[in-house]
Amino acid sequence: MSDLDRNKGFILSDLARLMRVVFDRRIKGLGLTRSQWFLMAHLYRADGLTQTELADILELEKATVGKTIDRLEESGWIFRKRDPTDRRVNRIHLTDKFGPYVPKLQKSSHDLISEAFGHLDEKEFDQLVDSLRHARANLLELSTPE
């Protein structure tokens, strides 16, 4: 067993990478890339975000997000609408086209989690989630500018 097999940071990073790879394969038939789905998932949670807000959330350059928005708009997944208080800003909204895909995407996500963590019983999984949420809260606190 190599040192990486027990390296906690490597395991967490590799787990996230592998989950993205498998999820990408599963949603490929829907005609979406992971970055497109991820952007729309954030809009699903908070419709009407700006390109800048999406870039910050996704940790991508505004130009990269702009290109993704352009492709999604051309495909009819989203639309831009002027901000009523600032005409320089466009708000990004989901179209009705996205609605029927939500259950499929949620099922793919749920199935992936079940397959990855099926070896844990419900109590163990809840403890894992609680630990991960605590770690995330610690990191969010550390990432907040002073």
State the average pLDDT over residues 128-142.
92
Q: How far apart are CA 120 and CA 124, in angstroms?
A: 6
pLDDT at site 2? 66
To the nearest 10 degrees (0 to 180), the angle between helices 102-117 and 8-27 is: 140
Q: Is the pLDDT of residue 67 over 60?
A: yes
Residue 29: exposed, middle, or buried by beta-carbon count in 10 A (0-12, 13-18, 19+)? exposed
DSSP state of 41: H
- Lowest-pLDDT range of 45-54, 89-98, 99-108: 99-108
Q: pTM of the entire structure?
A: 0.75
Average pLDDT, rounded, for the chain = 91
